[in-house]
Structures are given as C-alpha cells and as structure tokens.
Amino acid sequence: MTSIQVFSQEPGSPLPALPHYDSLGTGILQVSFEEKIPLYASADATVPFDTLEIKRRADGSTAFLTRVLKNKLAPYQLSYGDTHEAGRRHINMGLVSFPPVLQFRVVKATAHHFQVVINEKEKLTCFIYINPKYALYGTLVQKEVHNRIGQTEAPYNPCWYLYETWEHFLQRAYIVSTKPNATFYDAPNGKTIPFPSLQDGCRECFHVARVEGEWAELIDRQDYSRKKPAYGWVKWQNGKTLEVAVMEFGYE
C-alpha cells in the first residue's frame, strides 16, 4: 500500500493535466471531515497536486479549502451547510439544521484508490488514495450501525469512507423522481406500460425497490411494508447521466 503523503504543491502552482471521464461511473463517495484529503493527479503519483482541507467557519458553516483547485472544486454535491442563524431558523420552521455535504462521483474503485470526478462541469477526475487506517463502508446503514455504541465489536473510527454503488445509493434514497413523460416497462427490456397514476400529489415521486443494470423497479414511496405491487421499471441512467432525480433524505 502506498503511504499517504500530506504535503502538496506550493500555493499558486498550476493545475496539472487531470484525466477526463464522460460517463456516469460506479457510485458515490463520501469522506469524513476529520483530516485533510490529499488529491493525486494519477493512480501512481507519489505527491498530491492539492489537498482538500475542511474547516468549520465562525458562523457555523463549513469551508472546503484547496490551494490549487480553488473554484474548480465542483464535485457531484457540495454544500456548506447551515450557519448557526440559518440552522435556528430551519428548526423553528419544523425542519432540521442542514449539515454540510461533500459527495464525489466515483469513476473507478480499487483496493488502492478511488478515481473521482472533482469538477463535474469539465469532467475532470483525480485520485483519492485509500488510507488503510480509515473505516470503509459500503452502505449508509452499515456506517450508522457501526457508529452506534455497543452495536459492533470494532471501535468507532472517526475517519471513514462511505462508497455506495449506484444500486445502494438509489435504493436508500427517500425519493427518486422520473421525468414527467418517462417510459415505464413491465420488466427490464420488456413491454411498455402506462405511466402510473399516483394519489399523493407527487406525480413523479417513487422509491426504488430493485436495480438491474440500467433498469430500476419503482414502487410507491410510502408503501414501507411493500404490500402494493410495483409500478414498473424505468431506465435510471443513459451511460453518461442519471435519467432520474434523487432526493436522499426527506422531512415529513
């Protein structure tokens, strides 16, 4: 295993040539905010070209700091989270204080590294080497169970990776929304069927029951006991982009 270097290029160094990737990839990566995250330009680089440092601002929001990427840090999801004031306002509205979010789309995952899209607009990728001292989770449920004291024999590790394949990511999502005129099928590569009639005022809102390749089976988003029949299958991706919109969490 290559050791993790924590130094990087000097401030103001030019952005190196980074690999482009124009397909959807394999899933989503989240990383804990406890330590700096070295970013490498290739899978065999020995020195990172930049380092992502995550700090809490005085107002309660979160800063994602880089010396080379700067405004080119534009991953799949990046949110600074609520300030103290915004958090109080949301709680008074019956919501929650929204935390910061950092998610990378994964191009390739190996035992040594994750190749991630660091800039979604230009499709630039870089490499995050896997630190063997970090915990590695494959599902959000696995991570949450591990973090509950007494639920597992292994002690809680504040440094972790959460790498979810698209299958796991879609199936745990609170809502998956289709396009208004999405085509439904009775099975993957099967016969077309009418767009389902929903009764809850959210015409394109579903939950994903199963994923088979580029196909997703959609069910009633409120049928938690799975008593209702599935609505049918849709194509959730076209090779390069998602064909559905994903809302990970909801508040009702």
Mean pLDDT by 10 residues, the chain (252 residues): 41 82 96 96 96 94 94 95 85 84 97 97 97 94 72 77 97 92 94 84 84 95 83 95 90 59
Instruction: Look at residue 49 in the predicted model and tell me its pLDDT.
Output: 97
Instruction: Look at residue 200 in the predicted model and tell me its pLDDT.
Output: 60
Instruction: Look at residue 206 in the predicted model and tell me its pLDDT.
Output: 92
pTM of the model: 0.87
Instruction: Look at residue 3 in the predicted model and tell me its pLDDT.
Output: 36
* Residues 236 and 215 sit within 8 Å (Cβ to Cβ): yes
